[in-house]
Amino acid sequence: MDWVSIIPPLVAIIVVFWKKEVILALLLAVLCSEALILLTASPTTSFLAPINAIERVVDTASSPGNTRVILFSVLVGALLAFIRDSGGVTATVNYLVGKGVAKNKKQVGSLTMFTGIAVFIESNLSVLTAGIFARGLFDRFGMSRARLAYIIDSTSAPVCILILLNGWGAFILSLLDTYELPASSASILWGSVFFNFYAIFTLLIVAYTIAADKVHGPLAIEEKTLSKTDIPQQTETATKARYMIVPLLTMVLSMVGFMFWTGNGTLSEGSGSKSVLYATALATAIAYGLLLWHKRFTHKEAVEIGFKGMGELLPLVTIVLLSLTLGNSLKDLGTGVFVAGVVGEYLPLVFIVPMLFIAGAVMSFTTGTSWGTFAILIPIGVPLIQTLGLPPSLVVAAILGGGIFGDHCSPISDTTAVSSLAAGCDVLTHVKTQFPYALVAGGLTLVGYLIASIIMIG
């Protein structure tokens, strides 16, 4: 469908920045995409776009993987409410501050980043664990939830794509294994770690932000005023830190176990969507059990708290669902394939790798998915390796980095919504405050790929 396939994501992005309303933007984009699909098949049926949009939502929600993401997002609300209303957050914050582990902003930021890095098994689990853990600490030291959302979002995906002993690595290997390459898929993928400039620059910028305790651009403004749109958090009387620590440890440790279990004994082959759902469900059940065992709440009170927490996150869960729906619709429309065409066939060799990075960024930004970008661009990039003799690891790294870069900037990305959910920050506030940082890392990366191409390709 060529250029018209980019109209739906453009509609979403324009409405987001014009009306400051993400749900409306996603709804209009889905309607627009479905109308274009119908217009291509049969112009006389384009008026059925609203019906098709509803069916697209149903199909998206009925997909096992997407259903797990939605259930995981709902359960997070209950888990957050349990550990917050129990007084566990306040007790944990008091304990860490009292022990001198978190006695200033730099230590709090470092602890948050370290948590995100340590939980490299799955990106959603990384942002969720670090976000829940650090919320109270950020509040205590007067740091905005926007800063927290930036730190956890800009730590999780870069770490997952650099360590690769997770579902990310298994997915990319499965894409590379279908081709005849000059080296093994595993060696090419591991070699890409050193050339994944975007992930490296992003982590360095996060580390600078923490070490210097300086924020810039919209994040600096947000830091001065703090966000009035953050999900309201009650300051509960401190009780026992176990109400927070035990569920979080349960979630992280059981996630590892479930990854081994779903991967038949191999961590990297485990199902991330299944494991994170099972781990979150178990953590929520443990949190509920602790509240009843120690008589903190009655069964009725705990259930009410759980559903209240779910209700608080309903808007963000809706955004996640609509983001997934739009991604599926754009896939049928062919948006990703069209955007991939910007690479072109007649570029000078030294510009191909930088253009693959740009193509990945634009595709991920407009479709809201980094994994979908990998799935489309790797089949385009690998033939370039085979026919033009380009460095395999450099090409793969550019594709992977571009996908993460676009995802960090996109207001329609489900990862953006999950990061906002974990931090308790408004989605648009997170997008606005993270964008300049991602843009700086992206600019440095583009220069890096140009220099690397000149040196390695000539």
**Which DSSP string do the residues of 389-418 spell out, in sequence order?**
---HHHHHHHHHHHHHHHHHH-TT-HHHHH
The secondary element (H helix, E strand) that includes residue 103 is: none
Name the burial class of residue 122, with classes exposed (0-12), middle (13-18) and buried (19+) by CB atoms within 10 angstroms of its CB. buried
- Measured between alpha carbons, how far is 74 from 301 in angstroms, rounded to an integer? 18
pLDDT exceeds cutoff 90 at 382: no
Q: Which of 142-146, 163-167, 215-219, 413-417 has the lowest mean pLDDT?
A: 163-167
Which range of 56-70, 93-107, 186-200, 358-372 scores highest in mean pLDDT? It is: 186-200
**What confidence score (pLDDT) does residue 397 get?**
94
Within its chain, how far is the Cα of 141 from the centroid? Answer: 26
**Which DSSP string do the residues of 107-126 spell out, in sequence order?**
HHHHHHHHHHHH-TT-HHHH
The model's pLDDT over 72-89, given as tens digits with 9 standing for 90+, comes to 778 888 888 888 788 877
**What confidence score (pLDDT) does residue 44 get?**
66
Helices (H), 5-144: 7-19, 22-41, 49-62, 64-85, 88-98, 105-118, 123-140
The model's pLDDT over 407-434, given as tens digits with 9 standing for 90+, comes to 898 888 878 888 898 888 888 899 999 9
**What confidence score (pLDDT) does residue 170 get?**
67
**What confidence score (pLDDT) does residue 232 get?**
44
Using pLDDT thresholds of 50, 70 and 90, give the confidence band for residue 229. very low
More confident position, 276 or 32: 32
**Mean pLDDT across 369-393:** 80
Residue type, 392: P
Those residues with Cβ within 8 angstroms of residue 431's Cβ, 6 or more apart along the chain or in another chain:
16, 409, 410, 411, 416
Instruction: Look up residue 236 and give its DSSP letter.
Output: P
- Measured between alpha carbons, how far is 132 from 137 in angstroms, rounded to an integer? 10
For residue 180, count other CB atoms closer than 10 A to its CB.
6
**Mean pLDDT across 244-250:** 86
**Mean pLDDT across 126-138:** 85
**What confidence score (pLDDT) does residue 342 get?**
54
- Measured between alpha carbons, how far is 36 from 305 in angstroms, rounded to an integer? 43
Q: Which of 377, 444, 455, 363 is nearest to 198 (CA)?
A: 444
Residue type, 39: L
**What confidence score (pLDDT) does residue 40 get?**
77
Those residues with Cβ within 8 angstroms of residue 240's Cβ, 6 or more apart along the chain or in another chain:
87, 88, 91, 294
**Which DSSP string do the residues of 166-203 spell out, in sequence order?**
SHHHHHHHHHHTTS--SS-HHHHHHHHGGG-HHHHHHH
pLDDT exceeds cutoff 50 at 288: yes
Using pLDDT thresholds of 50, 70 and 90, give the confidence band for residue 454. very high
**Mean pLDDT across 243-254:** 86
Contact 396, 176 (CB under 8 A): yes
More confident position, 193 or 19: 193
Helix (H, G, I), strand (E, B) or coil at 263: coil
Contact 373, 363 (CB under 8 A): yes
Using pLDDT thresholds of 50, 70 and 90, give the confidence band for residue 118. confident
- Residue appearing with tokens 């294994």: 177
**Mean pLDDT across 38-65:** 81
Can you read off the two tokens belonging to residue 62?
A: 């009925």
Q: Which of 86-90, 351-355, 445-449 has the lowest mean pLDDT?
A: 86-90
The secondary element (H helix, E strand) that includes residue 452 is: helix 427-456
pTM: 0.78
**What confidence score (pLDDT) does residue 233 get?**
47
**Mean pLDDT across 2-12:** 79
The model's pLDDT over 156-200, given as tens digits with 9 standing for 90+, comes to 889 988 987 666 776 787 778 777 788 887 788 888 999 999 999
- Measured between alpha carbons, how far is 101 from 111 in angstroms, rounded to an integer? 8
More confident position, 35 or 209: 209
Using pLDDT thresholds of 50, 70 and 90, give the confidence band for residue 224. confident
Sign of the CA dihedral running 90, 77, 253, 370: negative
In our burial notation (b when 16+ CB lie closer than 10 A, e otherwise), range 63-93 reads eeebebbbebbbbbbbbbbbbbbbbbbbbbb
E runs forming strands in 274-327: none
**Mean pLDDT across 251-264:** 84
Using pLDDT thresholds of 50, 70 and 90, give the confidence band for residue 230. very low
Q: Which of 373, 431, 436 is nearest to 403 (CA)?
A: 373
**What confidence score (pLDDT) does residue 373 get?**
79
Give the chain's mean pLDDT.
83
- Measured between alpha carbons, how far is 365 from 4 in angstroms, rounded to an integer? 16
More confident position, 436 or 376: 436
- Measured between its terminal Cα atoms, the distance across the chain in Å is 36
pLDDT exceeds cutoff 80 at 42: no
